[in-house]
Amino acid sequence: MHDPPESNVSRERIVIVGAGFAGYQAARTLSRQLRGRAEIVLLNPTDYFLYLPLLPQVAAGILEPRRATVSLPGTLPRVRLVLGEADHVDLKAAKVHYTGPEGVGGELPYDRLVLAVGSVNKLLPVPGVAEYAHGFRGLPEALYLRDHVTRQIELAATSADPAESAARSTFVVVGAGYTGTEVAAQGKLFTDALVRNQRRGPYGHRPGKPRWMLLDIAPRVLPELDRRLSTTADRVLRARGVEVRTGTSVKEAGPAGVTLDTGEFVETRTLVWCVGVRPDPLVSEIGLPVERGRLCVDAQLNVPGHPEVFACGDAAAVPDLTRPGEYTPMTAQHASRQGTVAGRNVAASLGHGERRTYRHNDLGFVVDLGGVKAAANPFGVPLSGLAAGAVTRGYHLAAMPGNRVRVAADWLLDAVLPRQAVQLGLVRSWTVPLESSSPELARVPGGPGKE
Which window, 3-11, 39-47, 219-227, 285-293, contacts ligand FAD (CB under 6 A)? 39-47
User: How many Cα neighbours within 13 Å face the side chain of 224?
Assistant: 16
Q: Does 17 bind ligand FAD (CB under 6 A)?
A: yes
Among candidate residues 267, 236, 157, the one with its CA nearest the CA of residue 203: 157
Q: Does 364 bind ligand FAD (CB under 6 A)?
A: no
Q: Does 117 bind ligand FAD (CB under 6 A)?
A: yes
**Residue number, 69 or 165, with CB nearest to ligand FAD:** 69
Q: Does 249 bind ligand FAD (CB under 6 A)?
A: no
Q: Does 55 bind ligand FAD (CB under 6 A)?
A: yes
Among candidate residues 55, 16, 20, 65, the one with its CA nearest the CA of residue 39: 16
Binding string, residues 58-97; x marks residues near ligand FAD by CB under 6 A: ---------------------------xx-----------
**Residue number, 20 or 343, with CB nearest to ligand FAD:** 20
Which window, 19-27, 123-131, 200-208, 240-248, contacts ligand FAD (CB under 6 A)? 19-27
Q: Exactly one of 21, 144, 171, 310 binds ligand FAD (CB under 6 A); which one?
A: 21
Q: Does 315 bind ligand FAD (CB under 6 A)?
A: yes
Q: Does 374 bind ligand FAD (CB under 6 A)?
A: no
Residues 259-288 that bind ligand FAD (CB under 6 A): 280, 282
Q: Does 333 bind ligand FAD (CB under 6 A)?
A: yes
**Residue number, 3 or 326, with CB nearest to ligand FAD:** 326
**Residue number, 157 or 229, with CB nearest to ligand FAD:** 229
Q: What is the distance between the alpha carbons of residues 253 and 260, in angstroms, rounded to a whole number? A: 9
Among candidate residues 31, 30, 38, 33, the one with its CA nearest the CA of residue 9: 38
| Residue 226 neighbours by CB under 8 Å, 6+ apart | 365, 377, 380, 382
Q: What is the distance between the alpha carbons of residues 26 and 95, in angstroms, rounded to a whole number? A: 19
Tell me the closest approach of the beta carbon of residue 86 to ligand FAD, in angstroms. Answer: 4
Q: Does 408 bind ligand FAD (CB under 6 A)?
A: no
Q: Count the residues of the shown chain that bind ligand FAD, applying the rule CB under 6 A.
A: 35
Q: What residues are paired with 48 via a beta bridge?
A: 71
Q: Exactly one of 14, 15, 16, 19 binds ligand FAD (CB under 6 A); which one?
A: 19
Q: Does 141 bind ligand FAD (CB under 6 A)?
A: no
Q: Does 370 bind ligand FAD (CB under 6 A)?
A: no
Among candidate residues 56, 68, 66, 373, the one with its CA nearest the CA of residue 190: 56
**Residue number, 19 or 174, with CB nearest to ligand FAD:** 19
Tell me the closest approach of the beta carbon of residue 260 to ligand FAD, in angstroms. Answer: 24
**Residue number, 57 or 169, with CB nearest to ligand FAD:** 57
Q: Does 45 bind ligand FAD (CB under 6 A)?
A: yes
Q: Exactly one of 18, 175, 180, 207 binds ligand FAD (CB under 6 A); which one?
A: 18
Q: Exactly one of 110, 136, 171, 212 binds ligand FAD (CB under 6 A); which one?
A: 136
Supply angle C-alpha 83, 43, 68, rounded to 5: 75
Among candidate residues 53, 135, 173, 63, the one with its CA nearest the CA of residue 432: 135
**Residue number, 266 or 342, with CB nearest to ligand FAD:** 342
Q: Does 335 bind ligand FAD (CB under 6 A)?
A: yes
Residues making contact with ligand FAD (CB under 6 A): 17-23, 43-46, 52-53, 55, 85-86, 116-119, 136-137, 178-179, 280, 282, 313-315, 330-333, 335, 440
